[in-house]
Amino acid sequence: MANLKGKVAVVTGASRGIGKGTAMTLAGEGMTVYVTGRTVSEGVHQLPGTVGETAALCDERGGKGIAVQLDLTDDAQVAALSERVKAEQGRLDILVNNALSIPPEMTQRISFWEKPLSNWEILDTGLRAAYVASWHAAQIMVPQGSGLIASLSGFVGVTYTYDVIFGTTKAGTDRMMRDMAIELKEHNVCAVSLWQGFTYTERAIENLKNVPGMAAQLNSAAGSSPEYPGRIIAALAKDPELMKRSGGTWINAELGQEYGVSDVDGRMIPSNRAERGSPIWQPV
């Protein structure tokens, strides 16, 4: 995929945050991007952003944005999206598993037994839904003999951050991508887990204001815009030796340094490996 123009992507959780930034970035490469998320009307969510707004921004970037209301916990909706992509485009080149439910208790400094069991939705949206979406993506990518499944993870996969379920979800994401890569290897389909550091999303900015101690823990130099992960994914997709990455867990900042990818403000984002830990899984 040396040139992404005319290729097709699905990005989950793209009403706002990293999903929105990634969708816009891929559209800027000339891709058709299915912008999926639950928010279709402004004011329904406590944070701004809708799939329609993101799709319109994708169009402005020079690609094509297609807004799709999608509840990733509904398997039938995910299946319907896959069938739609297949019918309308006949191919799928990139799946970005980004969506994650973040209940308010996740960032509260209380122990897991003090949080409601309903917080298991973090794992349902962040891990199970990514498995289902990847399952459907593979149905298209394997026959065409190409594709990239990129799942957003983070240092939380090896370093305690906020919450038990949050860490379990991200550690599971890393392992899931590694094992999918083993089975996808012979079909020339790449699966990677990407560790994103602190990102200035709408929610993160609110957390900086409201979560005690969060601002003091932040290395602001390592923070990036919501578009940065999309820049890394685009660089990966254009790498002629992409399959050498498959199965690995990669730190976005380190990939950025290797590919020469800067953030929207021109900064090269530093890695937090020394402070926060190293990936476990290597390419297969």
Taking only the tens place, the pLDDT of each residue in 161-184 is 889 999 999 999 999 999 999 999
Q: Is 2 within a domain?
A: no
Report the percentage of the chain scoring pLDDT > 90: 83
What pLDDT shows up at residue 170?
A: 97
**Tens of pLDDT, residues 258-268:** 999 999 999 99
Q: How far is CA 281 from the centre of its chain?
A: 18
Secondary structure (3-state) at 278: coil
| Sequence-separated (6 or more) residues with CB below 8 Å from residue 104 | none
Q: Is 47 within a domain?
A: yes
Integer Cα distance of 13 and 206 in angstroms: 18
Integer Cα distance of 181 and 251 in angstroms: 17
> What CATH number did the domain enclosing 56 receive?
3.40.50.720
CA distances from 271 to 126, 176, 203, 223, 234 (A): 23, 23, 22, 10, 19
Q: Is 1 within a domain?
A: no
Domain containing 163 equals 8-276
Q: Which residue has the tokens 């402004």?
A: 42
Integer Cα distance of 230 and 227 in angstroms: 5
17-28 vs 51-60: helix crossing angle, rounded to 10: 30
**Tens of pLDDT, residues 130-154:** 999 999 999 999 999 999 999 999 9
Could you give the maximum distance between any two Cα atoms of the chain, in Å?
Answer: 50
Higher-confidence residue of 129 and 104: namely: 129
What are the structure tokens assigned to 135, written together? 């399952």
Do the beta carbons of residue 84 and residue 8 sit within 8 Å? Answer: no
- Mean pLDDT score of the chain: 93
Q: How many domains does the chain have?
A: 1
Q: Is 20 within a domain?
A: yes
Sheet holding 94-97, edge to edge: 64-69, 32-37, 8-11, 94-97, 147-153, 189-195, 249-251
* pTM (predicted TM-score): 0.93
Integer Cα distance of 155 and 76 in angstroms: 32
Q: Is 38 within a domain?
A: yes
User: Per-residue pLDDT averaged across 96-112, rounded?
Assistant: 94
What pLDDT shows up at residue 191?
A: 99
> What are the start-end ranges of the H helices in the chain?
17-28, 51-60, 75-89, 121-123, 129-144, 164-184, 202-210, 214-217, 228-237, 252-259, 273-276
Q: Is 281 within a domain?
A: no
**Tens of pLDDT, residues 69-86:** 999 999 999 999 999 999
What pLDDT shows up at residue 163?
A: 93
Query: Residue 44 above 70 pLDDT?
Result: no
Do the beta carbons of residue 184 and residue 191 sit within 8 Å? Answer: yes
What are the structure tokens assigned to 163, written together? 């919450």
What pLDDT shows up at residue 40?
A: 86
Q: Is 79 within a domain?
A: yes
Q: Is 155 within a domain?
A: yes
